[in-house]
Amino acid sequence: MMADVVEQSGGVAQSRPGDEHEAGGRAGDGRREPASTAGGTPRTGTDDSAAAARIVGIRERIDEIDRTVIELWQERAALSQEVGATRMASGGTRLVLSREREILERFRQALGADGTQLALLLLRAGRGPL
């Protein structure tokens, strides 16, 4: 959950061992497994070959989604920065708080509390810290 990722200081926490989105899982003794074996076979956290193959396929799709999210994040930040620069160059304010509240509410309605956290991160990426 996104709320688990954002620390109180506003920074982003490191992923924890065992998180599904990690390339490796957890070893039986609690140590983090390497992302793949010496032969390059990805670790899946299971010895069942059918389940392992399914996990590999799902993770490939997750990686594709992550790449898209990153690209969209960067595009959104650049567009937001352009809006702010255009507004300030025309004598406007640095921020439009009603617009930020609208975005926060949209994300909260769609995703709950985690959506609010995500929206705050998106807003900061586009305008910088307050």
* Residue among 125, 20, 118 at smallest CA distance from 74: 125
Full domain range(s) for residue 31: 14-45
Are 23 and 35 spatial neighbours (Cβ–Cβ below 8 Å)? yes
Residue 22 pLDDT > 60: no
* Residue among 16, 50, 52 at smallest CA distance from 36: 52
Do 111 and 83 share a structural domain? yes
Burial class (CB in 10 A: 0-12, 13-18, 19+), 9: exposed
Do 52 and 41 share a structural domain? no
Do 88 and 59 share a structural domain? yes
Q: How many domains does the chain have?
A: 2
Do 125 and 87 share a structural domain? yes
Residue 85 pLDDT > 70: yes
Give tens-digit pLDDT for 26-68: 444 555 556 666 666 789 999 999 999 999 999 999 999 999 9
Domain at 95, CATH number: 1.20.59.10
Confidence of residue 19 (pLDDT cuts 50, 70, 90): very low
pLDDT of residue 36: 66
Is the dihedral angle over the CA atoms 60, 66, 72, 78 positive or is it negative?
negative
Do 58 and 37 share a structural domain? no
Do 53 and 22 share a structural domain? no
Do 27 and 68 share a structural domain? no
Stretch 121-127: mean pLDDT: 96
pLDDT of residue 12: 41
